[in-house]
Structure 1
Amino acid sequence: MGDKIESKKIAKAAGVHTIPGFEGEVYDIEDAVRISNEIGYPVMVKASAGGGGKGMRIAYNDKECREAFRLSKNEAKSSFGDDRMLVEKFIEEPRHIEIQLIGDKHGNTYYLPERECSIQRRNQKVVEEAPSLHIDEATRKAMGEQAVSLAKNVGYFSAGTCEFLVDPQRNFYFLEMNTRLQVYGMLSLLSNFNLIMPQQILSQNSEHPITEYITNMDLVELMIRVAANQKLFFNQSEIAKPKGWAFESRVYAEDPEKYLPSIGRLTKYIEPLAITASGHDVRCDTGIVEGSEISIYYDPMICKLCTYGDTREIARQRMESALDRYVIKGVTHNIPLLRDVVSHPRFAAGKISTKFLGQEYPDGFKGAKLDVERKKVQLFAMSAVVHAIKDLNTRSWVKGAGSLQIPEHQTKWELNVSLKKTGESERVFVLAEKDGSWKVSVGGQTVSANVNWVVNTPLCDGVIDGENVVVQFLDPLPTGYRLQYLGTKFDVTIQSLRQHELSKYMKEKPRIDLTSVILSPMPGTVVSIAVREGDIVAQGAEMGVVEAMKMQNVIRAPRAGKVKKVLVKSGQSVAGDEIMVELEKARSETKQTTA
Structure 2
Amino acid sequence: MFKKILIANRGEIACRVIRTAKKMGIATVAVYSDADANALHVSMADEAVHIGAAPSAQSYLVIERIIDAIRQTGADAVHPGYGFLSENAAFAAALAKEGVAFIGPPVGAIEAMGDKITSKKIAADAGVSTVPGHMGVIEDAEEAVRIAASIGYPVMIKASAGGGGKGMRIAWNEAEAREGFQSSKNEAKNAFGDDRIFIEKFVTQPRHIEIQVLGDQHGTTLYLGERECSIQRRNQKVIEEAPSPFLDAATRKAMGEQAVALAKAVGYHSAGTVEFIVDGARKFYFLEMNTRLQVEHPVTELVTGIDLVEQMIRIAAGERLSFGQADVKLDGWAIESRLYAEDPYRNFLPSIGRLTRYRPPVEGEQPDGTLLRNDTGVFEGGEISMFYDPMIAKLCTWTPGEGDGARIAAIDAMAQALDRFELEGIGHNLPFLSAVMGQERFRSGKLTTAYIAEEFPDGFDGVTPDDPLSRTLAAIAAFVHRTVRARATDISGTLPHRHPVVGPDWVVALPQTEIALSIQGEEVVFGDGSALTVSSSWKPGQTLADFAVGDAVLRIKVNLVGSAIRLRCRGVDLVARVRSPHIATLARLMPIKQPPDTSKLLLCPMPGVVTSIAVQAGDVVEAGQPLAAVEAMKMENVLKAERGGVIKHVAADLGQSLAADDLILEFE
- 1:455 to 2:544 alignment: no
Quick check: 2:369–2:399 contact (8 Å CA) kept in 1? Answer: no
Residue in structure 2 matched with residue 373 of structure 1 by the alignment: 467
For residues 94 and 12 of structure 1, the distance between their equivalents in structure 2, rounded to whole angstroms, comes to 20
One-letter identity of the residue aligned with 1:564: K
Residue in structure 2 matched with residue 81 of structure 1 by the alignment: 193
Q: What SS class does the counterpart of residue 320 from structure 1 fall into?
A: helix
Quick check: 2:370–2:399 contact (8 Å CA) kept in 1? Answer: no
Is 312-321 or 255-264 further displaced after alignment? 255-264
Counterpart of 1:563 (choices 628, 631, 647) is 647
> 1:488 deviation in Å?
3.5
Residue in structure 1 matched with residue 667 of structure 2 by the alignment: 583
> 1:511 deviation in Å?
2.9
- 1:287 to 2:377 alignment: yes
Quick check: 2:515–2:526 contact (8 Å CA) kept in 1? Answer: no
- 1:261 to 2:356 alignment: no
Counterpart of 1:244 (choices 310, 332, 343) is 332
For residues 153 and 530 of structure 2, the distance between their equivalents in structure 1, rounded to whole angstroms, comes to 54
Q: How does 1:189-208 map to 2 (within 5 A)?
A: 205-208=294-297
Quick check: 1:519–1:578 contact (8 Å CA) kept in 2? Answer: yes
Is 26-35 or 483-492 further displaced after alignment? 483-492
For residues 312 and 525 of structure 2, the distance between their equivalents in structure 1, rounded to whole angstroms, comes to 56
For residues 450 and 432 of structure 2, the distance between their equivalents in structure 1, rounded to whole angstroms, comes to 15
- Per-residue CA deviations over 1:39-65 (Å, capped at 9, x if unaligned) read 100000010111111110100001001
- Per-residue CA deviations over 1:109-138 (Å, capped at 9, x if unaligned) read 110111000000000000000000110000
Residue in structure 2 matched with residue 441 of structure 1 by the alignment: 526
Residue in structure 1 matched with residue 314 of structure 2 by the alignment: 225
- 1:464 to 2:553 alignment: no
- Per-residue CA deviations over 1:509-560 (Å, capped at 9, x if unaligned) read 2331111111001121111112222233334432211111110111123443
Change (3 A) 1:229 1:148: same
Q: What SS class does the counterpart of residue 452 from structure 1 fall into?
A: coil
Q: What SS class does the counterpart of residue 114 from structure 1 fall into?
A: strand
Q: What SS class does the counterpart of residue 126 from structure 1 fall into?
A: strand
For residues 370 and 246 of structure 2, the distance between their equivalents in structure 1, rounded to whole angstroms, comes to 26
- 1:328 to 2:427 alignment: no
For residues 658 and 426 of structure 2, the distance between their equivalents in structure 1, rounded to whole angstroms, comes to 18
One-letter identity of the residue aligned with 1:374: P
For residues 29 and 296 of structure 1, the distance between their equivalents in structure 2, rounded to whole angstroms, comes to 30
Change (3 A) 1:505 1:30: same
> 1:342 deviation in Å?
1.3
Change (3 A) 1:14 1:334: same
Residue in structure 1 matched with residue 366 of structure 2 by the alignment: 276
> 1:442 deviation in Å?
6.5
Is 134-143 or 441-450 further displaced after alignment? 441-450
Q: What SS class does the counterpart of residue 229 from structure 1 fall into?
A: coil
Quick check: 2:464–2:572 contact (8 Å CA) kept in 1? Answer: no
Residue in structure 2 matched with residue 394 of structure 1 by the alignment: 488
Residue in structure 2 matched with residue 591 of structure 1 by the alignment: none
> 1:443 deviation in Å?
5.3
Residue in structure 1 matched with residue 139 of structure 2 by the alignment: 27
One-letter identity of the residue aligned with 2:382: S
For residues 257 and 407 of structure 2, the distance between their equivalents in structure 1, rounded to whole angstroms, comes to 25
- 1:312 to 2:410 alignment: no
Scaled by the length of structure 1, what TM-score is found?
Answer: 0.88
For residues 365 and 510 of structure 1, the distance between their equivalents in structure 2, rounded to whole angstroms, comes to 22
Quick check: 1:411–1:431 contact (8 Å CA) kept in 2? Answer: no
One-letter identity of the residue aligned with 1:145: E
Q: What SS class does the counterpart of residue 113 from structure 1 fall into?
A: strand
Q: How does 1:45-444 map to 2 (within 5 A)?
A: 45-181=157-293, 205-239=294-328, 241-257=329-345, 258-274=347-363, 276-277=366-367, 281-310=371-400, 311-370=406-465, 372-396=466-490, 413-420=504-511, 423-432=512-521, 437-441=522-526, 444=529
Is 438-447 or 314-323 further displaced after alignment? 438-447
Residue in structure 2 matched with residue 593 of structure 1 by the alignment: none
Quick check: 1:99–1:112 contact (8 Å CA) kept in 2? Answer: yes
For residues 479 and 355 of structure 2, the distance between their equivalents in structure 1, rounded to whole angstroms, comes to 28
Quick check: 1:25–1:85 contact (8 Å CA) kept in 2? Answer: yes
Quick check: 1:417–1:426 contact (8 Å CA) kept in 2? Answer: yes
> 1:273 deviation in Å?
2.0
> 1:419 deviation in Å?
2.1
For residues 398 and 462 of structure 1, the distance between their equivalents in structure 2, rounded to whole angstroms, comes to 28
For residues 539 and 220 of structure 1, the distance between their equivalents in structure 2, rounded to whole angstroms, comes to 50
The Cα RMSD (Å) is 2.0
One-letter identity of the residue aligned with 1:582: E
Quick check: 2:556–2:567 contact (8 Å CA) kept in 1? Answer: yes
One-letter identity of the residue aligned with 2:332: G
Residue in structure 2 matched with residue 501 of structure 1 by the alignment: 585
> 1:447 deviation in Å?
1.2
- Per-residue CA deviations over 1:162-207 (Å, capped at 9, x if unaligned) read 11100000010111111122xxxxxxxxxxxxxxxxxxxxxxx421
Quick check: 2:231–2:238 contact (8 Å CA) kept in 1? Answer: yes
Is 254-263 or 284-293 further displaced after alignment? 254-263
For residues 162 and 492 of structure 2, the distance between their equivalents in structure 1, rounded to whole angstroms, comes to 61
Residue in structure 1 matched with residue 128 of structure 2 by the alignment: 16
Q: What SS class does the counterpart of residue 506 from structure 1 fall into?
A: coil
Q: What SS class does the counterpart of residue 63 from structure 1 fall into?
A: helix
One-letter identity of the residue aligned with 1:215: T
For residues 439 and 481 of structure 1, the distance between their equivalents in structure 2, rounded to whole angstroms, comes to 18
Residue in structure 2 matched with residue 588 of structure 1 by the alignment: none
For residues 468 and 141 of structure 1, the distance between their equivalents in structure 2, rounded to whole angstroms, comes to 42
Could you tell me which runs of 5 or more consecutive residues in structure 2 were left unpaired when the two chains were aligned: 1-112, 401-405, 495-500
Quick check: 1:336–1:487 contact (8 Å CA) kept in 2? Answer: yes
- Per-residue CA deviations over 1:450-469 (Å, capped at 9, x if unaligned) read 22323222102112222121
For residues 584 and 447 of structure 2, the distance between their equivalents in structure 1, rounded to whole angstroms, comes to 45
For residues 327 and 263 of structure 2, the distance between their equivalents in structure 1, rounded to whole angstroms, comes to 20
Quick check: 1:53–1:124 contact (8 Å CA) kept in 2? Answer: yes
- Per-residue CA deviations over 1:404-460 (Å, capped at 9, x if unaligned) read xxxxxx97631111123xx3111122222xxxx443537543112222323222102
Residue in structure 1 matched with residue 32 of structure 2 by the alignment: none
Residue in structure 2 matched with residue 185 of structure 1 by the alignment: none
The number of equivalent residue pairs is 543
One-letter identity of the residue aligned with 2:330: P
For residues 298 and 368 of structure 1, the distance between their equivalents in structure 2, rounded to whole angstroms, comes to 29
Q: What SS class does the counterpart of residue 110 from structure 1 fall into?
A: strand
- Per-residue CA deviations over 1:447-500 (Å, capped at 9, x if unaligned) read 1222232322210211222212122123x3333122223233212222111111
For residues 638 and 271 of structure 2, the distance between their equivalents in structure 1, rounded to whole angstroms, comes to 37
Quick check: 1:479–1:495 contact (8 Å CA) kept in 2? Answer: no
For residues 158 and 579 of structure 1, the distance between their equivalents in structure 2, rounded to whole angstroms, comes to 49
Q: What SS class does the counterpart of residue 112 from structure 1 fall into?
A: strand
For residues 613 and 518 of structure 2, the distance between their equivalents in structure 1, rounded to whole angstroms, comes to 56
For residues 344 and 573 of structure 1, the distance between their equivalents in structure 2, rounded to whole angstroms, comes to 38
For residues 624 and 558 of structure 2, the distance between their equivalents in structure 1, rounded to whole angstroms, comes to 38
One-letter identity of the residue aligned with 1:446: A
Scaled by the length of structure 2, what TM-score is found?
Answer: 0.78
Q: What SS class does the counterpart of residue 471 from structure 2 fall into?
A: helix
Residue in structure 2 matched with residue 196 of structure 1 by the alignment: none
Quick check: 1:100–1:113 contact (8 Å CA) kept in 2? Answer: yes
For residues 146 and 281 of structure 2, the distance between their equivalents in structure 1, rounded to whole angstroms, comes to 30
For residues 539 and 346 of structure 1, the distance between their equivalents in structure 2, rounded to whole angstroms, comes to 35
Change (3 A) 1:492 1:399: farther
